[in-house]
Amino acid sequence: MANINSKGIEKNTFDAIVIGSGISGGWAAKELCDHGLKTLVLERGKNVVHLKDYPTATKNPWDFPHRTYEPLAVTKENPIVSRCYAFSETSQHFFVKDKEHPYVQDKHFDWIRGYQVGGKSLLWARQTQRWSKYDFEGPGRDGFAVDWPIRYQDIAPWYSHVERFAGIAGNKDGLETLPDGEFLPAWEMNEVEKVMSKRINAHYKDRNVIIGRCAHLTKPNEIHQQQGRGQCQARSLCERGCPFGGYFSSNSSTIPWAEKTGNLTLRPDSVVHSIIYDQKKGKATGVRVIDAHTKEATQYYAKIIFVNAATMNTNLVLLNSTSSRFPNGLGNDNGLLGKFIAFHNYRGTLTASMDGYLDSYYYGRRPTAIMMPNFRNVYKQEMDFLRGYMTFYSVMRAGWGHSTDGPQIGSGYKEAVSEAGPWGVYMQMQGETIPKETNHVSLSKDEKDAWGIPLLKTSVAYDDNDLKSMKDFMAQGAEMLNIAGCKNIHTHDTNQAPGLDIHEMGGVRMGKDPKTSLLNKWNQMHACPNVFVTDGSCMVSTSTQNPSLTFMAITARAANHAVEELKKGNIG
């Protein structure tokens, strides 16, 4: 880190520094700025301003050179990121390119990244479910990880806090396995989905099929209008950036809100090298940053630091933050930093068809599916595998121009493809994986990136528990589809690598005991309390629910605690 240009300590000093501007970083910035803290947000990627920097948001398919599809050359150059469902000619500018940001795979791991202001909040699938008390109690009860230092009642008020601001569509379903939230009107099932859900719900006492909950404004409230956001148009073009602000992102919501306070300084193109630890003061004092373009090194200082670079990069930054006090990474007295990485198991899927209902159709492209909360090992251990899986399914009609039987030519073919086709069903699992010490990340000892930072090494894999869970899902899924009246039911193992779920968690887990965890119940590092970690890396376990809503709630809770502790003089 030679040629450091500090530009004057006073000029580069803030109350708080937030590393990362994605879903959790945006929330940290909003909360800290709302409470009057002068806050610096560091983002390693380019600036993306809501509305202004969505170049493809309103384009038609024929406006793209390859009609939205990536040419083979691009796919070959990007074998990892091109596997992502949202990567296409319409959205490639929001994705990291494989060659530009390499990493070392000891085991195959698809690391999907979006380096820009807003991060992957521009690209996420926007599904938002609260965890239940059983999700927080599970690790401690079953002994497969350290006990969570918090429970549902600790986080419930913060779920409400972020739901009201972000805007979550859903129904009050009254399920103890999936608590209700502060909801906007829910999206509606189509006729066939209603029929299927009614049949499944009637057959099983422990299974509940409901409409999905998602971060889309079905009916904006005043707080959303104050953000300048409008109603979701059900276009399903979300990964391009939404010109209506119809779905929640840092770009459309938390970052502009923080900017309006006058307390935010946003610095894009800032690659964080490491966190500075002052042994005499016994705390972190700042952050080392490398300009993404000039490679110039600068130091910024603050009383509190929030690390929200997304799971893998947060682990990388902390592992690279070495000092005489912490030779193995910041706060890493127990040697557990980078370990117990977990993710969601998406490998099991099913397809089927549904006869009839050809006089029924639907409008728009609904941004959520039908879902069923986990029903395995909820109250006690009862299967030959740990934990369980959430189930999602959707039912759609083949569109105009669909494939048909018979000759693909002539007036008969033209007439056949001019009408909507039959109903097709797609079902998938979202399985909880068990955190293991052998699933870990570390720093390469001999390979560095373009900014002189060690490359991240990933060693993450499935285990026998994941295969047992997947097989159970396939069997139960086929049974449920059969009961629902489906035909031509087929199961599939996608064999996709960990990482493609884009739900990686862990490595800097919370806990009650500094010997077995890195963070306390307020997301402060046990060994360095003025550093907070509130993105996916803080998670003890994954549950079966989508994680982003929990990241938001944990971040808001921690940020407000940080403000209180700062006022009391306990940190900073």
Domain residue ranges in the chain: 1-158+249-344+436-460+504-572, 194-211+347-386+388-433+462-497
The CATH-assigned architecture of domain 1-158+249-344+436-460+504-572 is 3-Layer(bba) Sandwich (3.50)
Alpha helices in 247-356 (DSSP H): 255-260, 311-319
CA distance 170 to 219: 11
Share of the chain above pLDDT 70, in %: 96
**What tokens were used for 523?**
């997301």
What band does 399 get if pLDDT is binned at 50, 70 and 90? low
Model pLDDT, residue 400: 53
Q: Is-contact 323 32, C-beta < 8 A?
A: no
Q: Is residue 193 exposed (0-12), middle (13-18) or buried (19+ Cβ within 10 Å)?
A: buried
**Hey, how many other C-beta atoms are within 10 angstroms of the C-beta on 446?**
7
State pTM to two decimals.
Answer: 0.96
What band does 411 get if pLDDT is binned at 50, 70 and 90? confident
Where does 310-452 show beta strands of DSSP type E?
339-342, 344-345, 348-354, 370-372, 389-397, 423-432, 440-448
**Hey, how many other C-beta atoms are within 10 angstroms of the C-beta on 490?**
12
How do residues 109-126 score in pLDDT, each as one tens digit?
999 999 999 999 999 999
Find tokens 């879903």 and name the residue.
Answer: 23
CA distance 417 to 534: 50
Mean pLDDT of the chain: 96
Q: Which residues contact 118 (CB under 8 A, 6 or more apart)?
A: 21, 22, 26, 48, 249, 250, 251, 255
Overall average pLDDT of the 134-150 stretch:
97
Which candidate, 497, 505, 507, 536, places its Cα nearest to that of 110?
A: 497
End-to-end CA distance of the chain: 25
What band does 364 get if pLDDT is binned at 50, 70 and 90? confident
How do residues 426-477 score in pLDDT, each as one tens digit?
999 999 999 999 999 999 999 999 999 999 999 999 999 999 999 999 999 9
Which candidate, 445, 435, 462, places its Cα nearest to that of 104?
A: 445
Which candidate, 167, 296, 279, places its Cα nearest to that of 228?
A: 167
Give bridge partners of residue 289 from the DSSP assignment: 272, 298
CA distance 413 to 370: 33
Q: What is the DSSP letter of 252?
A: I
Instruction: Give CA 498 to chain center in angstroms.
Output: 14
CA distance 286 to 288: 7
Which candidate, 310, 313, 303, places its Cα nearest to that of 276?
A: 303
CA distance 175 to 31: 30
Q: What angle do CA 26, 27, 32 make, to 5 degrees?
A: 105
3-state secondary structure 110-125: CCCCCCECCHHHHCCC
CA distance 14 to 572: 11
What band does 416 get if pLDDT is binned at 50, 70 and 90? low
What band does 1 get if pLDDT is binned at 50, 70 and 90? very low
Q: What is the DSSP letter of 435?
A: P
How do residues 79-96 score in pLDDT, each as one tens digit?
999 999 999 999 999 999
Q: What angle, 0 to 180 degrees and rounded to 10, lies between the N-to-C axes of helices 152-166 and 548-568?
A: 100
Share of the chain above pLDDT 90, in %: 93
Q: What is the DSSP letter of 104?
A: E
Q: Which residues contact 367 (CB under 8 A, 6 or more apart)?
A: 126, 187, 214, 216, 232, 234, 236, 238, 247
How do residues 15-42 score in pLDDT, each as one tens digit?
999 999 999 999 999 999 999 999 999 9
Q: Is it the case that residue 247 has pLDDT exceeding 50?
A: yes
What band does 420 get if pLDDT is binned at 50, 70 and 90? confident
**What tokens were used for 460?**
């993450």
**What tokens were used for 552?**
């938001």
**Hey, how many other C-beta atoms are within 10 angstroms of the C-beta on 150?**
18
Model pLDDT, residue 6: 54
Which candidate, 319, 315, 295, 267, places its Cα nearest to that of 18?
A: 267
Q: Is residue 60 exposed (0-12), middle (13-18) or buried (19+ Cβ within 10 Å)?
A: exposed
